[in-house]
Amino acid sequence: MVIKILGSGCANCKKLEANAREAVKELGIEATIEKVQNFKDIMAYGVMKTPALVVDEKVKVMGRVPSVEDIKKYL
């Protein structure tokens, strides 16, 4: 599983990354977490508001920071 955090590196982006890492840990699954900060790459996903969570190339959330519990549902 590949999880991508799309965003500029702001506080919300960092929080989303932390929540995603915690969700992966709690579920005990294998996943790679990547940060995408290039706006051209972010826009290629159709994302206009960051941060965004992408799981296996599907945008799951954009423009907000989901909780660890919410992220677990997307994984």
Which residues are known catalytic residues?
10, 13
Look-up: residue for tokens 């790459």?
Answer: 41
Q: For the chain, give the number of residues.
A: 75
Q: Is 21 exposed, middle or buried (0-12, 13-18, 19+ CB in 10 A)?
A: middle
Q: Indicate the residue type of 54.
A: V
